[in-house]
């Protein structure tokens, strides 16, 4: 919704600038239709901005996952279960492909949150987001004990 609001705001700003140019040069415009067209364009763009900000339908996606790994410590390559994409940390997981197989999926780790609250031997990812955007972050639900708590200060 934020992206749609920003796009709508930018369009409204461009329309307002266009409208200002028309008003400044109104004495040079001999046809009243040009002014009416500019006013109509401004109203339509501003209406679009309000519509996108107020009426975005929320979508909730939930996908079961069968294994998960992170990309910490791996840069620019993939190893089964973990990796990174353009040096962006990601969570890699296997999900049902719908035909008896599994498909490798990934979500950006920076904006995702992991919860250790799923029943044993199960896991799922979920996101709720406006229909006009792609989700930034996902909620990842894994069984208790999945996250390994270790502390390592390595200066290399």
Domain boundaries, the chain: 2-54, 58-143
Quick one: pLDDT band at residue 141, thresholds 50, 70, 90?
A: very high
pTM for the structure as a whole: 0.55
Taking the C-alpha atoms of 133, 3, 114 and 81 in order, what is their torsion angle to the nearest 10 degrees?
60
- The answer on pLDDT for 26 being more than 70 is no
- The answer on pLDDT for 71 being more than 90 is no
Q: How many CA atoms lie within 13 A of 84 on its CB side?
A: 11
d(CA 113, CA 127): 10
How many C-beta atoms surround the C-beta of residue 117 within 10 A?
10
Tell me if residue 38 falls in helix, strand or coil. helix
Work out the average pLDDT over 45-62: 71
How does the average pLDDT of the chain come out, rounded?
74
d(CA 114, CA 126): 11
Quick one: pLDDT band at residue 1, thresholds 50, 70, 90?
A: very low
């Amino acid at each position: 919704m934020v992206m749609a609001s920003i796009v709508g705001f930018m369009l409204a700003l461009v329309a307002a600038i266009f409208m200002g140019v028309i008003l400044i040069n109104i004495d040079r415009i001999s046809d009243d239709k040009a002014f009416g067209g500019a006013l109509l364009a401004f109203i339509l763009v501003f209406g679009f901005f309000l519509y996108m900000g107020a009426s975005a339908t929320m979508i909730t996606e939930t996908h079961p996952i069968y294994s998960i790994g992170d990309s910490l410590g791996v840069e620019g390559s993939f190893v089964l279960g973990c990796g990174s994409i353009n040096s962006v940390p990601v969570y890699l997981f296997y999900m049902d492909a719908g035909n008896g197989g599994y498909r490798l999926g990934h979500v950006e780790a920076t904006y995702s949150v992991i919860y250790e609250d799923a029943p044993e031997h199960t896991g799922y990812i979920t996101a709720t987001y406006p229909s006009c955007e792609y989700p930034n972050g996902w909620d990842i639900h894994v069984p208790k004990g999945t996250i390994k708590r270790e502390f390592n200060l390595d200066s290399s």
